């Protein structure tokens, strides 16, 4: 047995999170794509069957009240809140990440005031955030400027209304300085909007601690909510009275069943709701979040760093020089929970890895992306993935 394989055995034996793996439906595949779609929590199928057969099939319309369907968006939001460092009453679940980015960014611009005429957006952002930012700028009559996160402090000024940033770069896995950048944005009198898609469930976020204004995120990656599971929106408590949503649907009305022709927003995070909740996927998400019961996000972060450190060591040990280059930062304070490797013919390499039971993904033009979900990925799997990668590169 190789030295890395022996090390993996020792690391797995000492892993306090190892029992959590049994909470998921897994097989012999080394699944390193949880940063795109998390694995299925084992309790979800029976819960969804109950929702369909009993709550929908038997109770039907009564389930809006008797099964708690109507209050699901804020109830599930309160389950997500601790995972992103937020107190209850500030997170509401529903719609997609894209829709929530639109709500958050337009509302931030409105709260900033008419004299704030520019929006800054992360130049390295996931494309949909950039598309939404461009549309929000057109709709609000603001200009849009794309800058890298490192350029944000110098780009801020008295015209800046809001800044939309990604906590973790989806390509490279680089973790950006949420506390420092939020403080700089506030010092300039602007509002900070953070996209947490690649950080929530993988590392501590600290929304309340760092005074983040608004944040959004998906739930189908490290939160394991399932394909197309609803996203969430965070609105800091003191900003909620001034949160003016550009999508004032009937579900966010203070009296939704009054059917008033004029809109009066509900208090609190409920203002982030729009239309009828997508109950099936929402309740699947609620069941999936139970795997987090009694799990420390700090422990998850420690294992995430240990896994990614170990993977990088194994890749160096097994792979000859010049075959692959890591574009993921070495420093822990700059790394999310994935490793991105650049190599020739990356798309074909990933296809071969998948046929051999190592599932990551490919990002154009030359990046292999491996996401490490600490709740279920083992060190033995990590060693195996690096070994098979080296064989394919050779």
Please report which residue ranges of the chain form alpha helices under DSSP H.
Answer: 3-13, 44-50, 63-66, 72-80, 97-112, 127-140, 152-155, 178-187, 279-288, 297-318, 346-355, 379-393
| Nearest-10 Cα torsion for 309, 312, 318, 323 | -170
Given 15, 95, 195, 278, which residue is catalytic?
Answer: 195
Q: Is 220 a catalytic site residue?
A: yes
| Buried b / exposed e along 228-263 (16+ C-beta atoms within 10 A) | ebbbbbbbbeeebeebebbbbebbbbeeeeeeeeee
Given 24, 31, 102, 126, which residue is catalytic?
Answer: 126
Q: Is 126 a catalytic site residue?
A: yes
Q: Is 369 a catalytic site residue?
A: yes
Given 110, 116, 142, 221, which residue is catalytic?
Answer: 221
Q: Is 351 a catalytic site residue?
A: no
326 upstream amide cis, omega within 30 of 0: no
Tell me the C-alpha distance between 142 and 267, whole Å: 28
Give the three-state DSSP class for 207: coil
- What φ, ψ does residue 139 adopt, rounded to 5°? -70, -30
Given 79, 110, 273, 369, which residue is catalytic?
Answer: 369
What would the two tokens of residue 188 be?
């300039």
Given 31, 220, 222, 234, which residue is catalytic?
Answer: 220
In this structure, the number of other CB atoms found within 10 A of the CB of residue 46 comes to 10
Q: Is 303 a catalytic site residue?
A: no
CA proximity to 357, closest of 331, 330, 329, 391: 391
- Residues serving a catalytic function are 126, 195, 220-221, 369
């Amino acid at each position: 047995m190789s030295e890395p394989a022996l090390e993996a055995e020792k690391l797995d034996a000492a892993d306090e999170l190892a029992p959590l793996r049994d909470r998921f439906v897994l097989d012999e595949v080394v699944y390193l794509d949880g940063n795109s779609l998390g694995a299925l929590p084992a309790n979800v199928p029976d819960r969804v069957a109950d929702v369909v057969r009993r709550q929908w099939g038997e109770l039907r319309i009564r389930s809006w009240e008797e099964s708690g369907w109507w209050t699901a968006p804020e109830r599930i939001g309160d389950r997500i809140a601790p995972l992103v460092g937020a107190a209850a009453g500030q997170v509401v679940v529903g719609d997609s990440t894209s829709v929530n980015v639109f709500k958050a960014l337009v509302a931030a611009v409105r709260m900033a005031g008419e004299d704030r005429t520019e929006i800054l957006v992360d130049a390295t952002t996931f494309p949909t955030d950039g598309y939404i930012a461009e549309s929000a700028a057109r709709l609000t009559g603001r200009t849009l400027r794309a800058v890298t996160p490192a350029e944000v402090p110098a780009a801020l000024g008295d015209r800046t209304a809001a800044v939309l940033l990604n906590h973790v770069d989806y390509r490279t896995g680089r973790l950006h300085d949420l506390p420092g950048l939020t403080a700089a944005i506030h010092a300039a009198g602007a509002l900070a909007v953070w996209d947490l898609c690649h950080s929530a469930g993988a590392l501590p976020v600290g929304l309340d601690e760092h005074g983040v204004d608004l944040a959004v995120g998906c739930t189908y990656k490290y939160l394991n909510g399932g394909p197309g599971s609803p996203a969430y929106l965070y609105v800091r408590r003191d900003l909620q009275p001034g949160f003016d949503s550009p999508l004032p649907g009937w579900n966010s009305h203070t009296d939704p069943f009054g059917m008033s022709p004029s809109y009066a927003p509900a208090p609190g995070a409920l203002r982030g709701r729009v239309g009828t909740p997508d109950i099936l996927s929402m309740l699947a998400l609620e069941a999936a979040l139970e795997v987090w019961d009694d799990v420390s996000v700090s422990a998850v972060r420690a294992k995430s760093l240990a896994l990614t450190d170990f993977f990088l060591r194994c890749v160096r040990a097994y792979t000859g020089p010049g075959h692959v280059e890591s574009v993921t930062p070495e420093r822990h304070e700059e790394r999310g929970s994935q490793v991105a490797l650049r190599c020739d013919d990356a798309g074909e390499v990933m296809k071969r890895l998948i046929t051999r039971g190592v599932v990551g993904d490919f990002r154009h033009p030359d990046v292999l992306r491996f996401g490490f979900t600490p709740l279920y990925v083992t060190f033995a799997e990590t060693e195996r993935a690096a070994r098979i990668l080296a064989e394919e590169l050779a």
